[in-house]
Amino acid sequence: MLTLLTACVSLGLLEESDGHYRNTPASQTYSVRTAPMYFGDYYRFQIDRQVYPAFAHLDRHCGEIASISTG
């Protein structure tokens, strides 16, 4: 869990103070479902349309990368 929290702090999604974590202002504005400018539904829509289809061929791409790096 600490690794995930640290990654979120590094990405600017969370702030940490004395071992307590909270949303950054941008996260609060765009990532909280009840916020007026919530962006999560649109983000999930884009992930579903653009990112997940690329994962369908991930094994093929990993093989291509491996063959390039081993030359």
pLDDT digits (tens, 9 = 90+) for 8-54: 999 999 999 999 999 999 999 999 999 999 998 988 888 888 888 87
Assign 70 a pLDDT band (cuts: 50, 70, 90).
low
- Residues 23, 3, single domain; the answer is yes
All residues at 6 or more sequence positions from 14 whose CB lies less than 8 Å from its CB, including other chains: 5, 8, 21, 22, 23, 24, 27
Domain that holds residue 63: 39-71
pTM to 2 decimal places: 0.60
- Residues 4, 33, single domain; the answer is yes
- Residues 32, 50, single domain; the answer is no
DSSP the chain: -HHHHHHHHHTTSEEEETTEEEE-HHHHHHT-TTSTT--HHHHHHHIIIIIHHHHTTHHHHHHHHHHHHH-
